[in-house]
Amino acid sequence: MNRRTTRHRLRVLSGYVGGVLLGAVLWQVIGTIAPHEVFDSLSDTLARLWQIILDGTLGTALWTSFQTYLVGMVFALIIGAFGGLLLARRQLLRIALEPYAIALYATPMVGIIPFLLALLGFGFWPKVVVIILFAFFPVLLNTQRGAQSISPELLDVARVYRTRERDIWRHVILPYTLPFLMTGVRQSLARGLVGMIAADFFLSSDGLGGLLITASERFDTAEMLAITLVITVIGLALMAIGRALENHFARWRVG
């Protein structure tokens, strides 16, 4: 590594650390000045975070939330992938169902939760349904767009070399669509997280969202901030996972 890139990296690193430090200091100062019911300082937040980690509250909530998240995401992925492929390759289905898909995508999902509550009540599965509804659209739409954008030339190649119909799916359509699907997964991971918190808000008093609600009812600003911080870190981690997945499967799409 030459001197120039070293200096460049140092600059980037110092900017990064500086930004984080500045944010932390601002948080601390504002939190100290502001009334506790409105905002709390970083030190109080971290202290409270430590407390809920130690007494197990956070762990239990995390576990509850992530069970629903995982189950919901698996369903969202399956529905999105198969639905997208079907919509892409079966014209009649596409014409019939696409308006609904787009209308539902445009509807803010939070607005549907009260109906689900009336329909399904409280509990594990209604929450899973909420997460599915939040998360499956990006997978569906990206998969559909991918599978529809296969160049006709590649399908000609498959046919000229006498590929059987089911092998055309296996050799051409699926590998071509996979990176698009992964773009959908990346977007879905974040939307599913929103769905998870929203489901906790409306459909139960446990999970991360439930913890957040009860903290706010107690005007425990430090705990609210601590949980929000946890959710943010989870969101960032999911984004990183999604990005890594997408890059891994899209490596041939470079250039």
* Chain residues that interact with another protein, rule: CB under 8 A: 151, 153-154, 156-163, 167, 171-172, 175-176, 178, 251-255
Give the nearer residue to another protein in terms of CB position, either 102 or 157: 157
Nearest Cα to Cα of residue 208 among 231, 232, 236, 238: 231
Q: Which is nearer to another protein, 23 or 175 (CB)?
A: 175
Please answer whether residues 114 and 159 qualify as being in contact, where contact means their C-beta atoms are separated by less than 8 angstroms.
no
Q: Which residues, at least 6 apart from 15, have a Cβ–Cβ distance to it below 8 Å?
A: none
- What is the nearest approach in angstroms of another protein to the Cβ of residue 255? 4
**Tokens in use for 190?**
């974040």
How many other C-beta atoms can be found within 10 angstroms of the C-beta atom of residue 119?
Answer: 10
- Tokens 């898909």, residue? 101
From 186, 227, 225, 185, select the one nearest 206 (Cα to Cα).
227
Q: Shortest distance, CB of residue 74 to another protein, whole angstroms?
A: 25
Nearest distance in Å: CB 151, another protein: 7
**Which lies closer to another protein via its Cβ, residue 62 or residue 154?**
154
Helices (H) and strands (E) counted in the chain, each on its own, are 11, 0
Q: Is 82 or 252 the residue whose CB approaches another protein more closely?
A: 252
Report the distance separating Cα 164 and Cα 108, nearest Å: 43
- Nearest approach in angstroms of CB 167 to another protein is 7
Q: Which is nearer to another protein, 163 or 214 (CB)?
A: 163
Q: Which of 179, 191, 89 is nearest to 137 (CA)?
A: 191
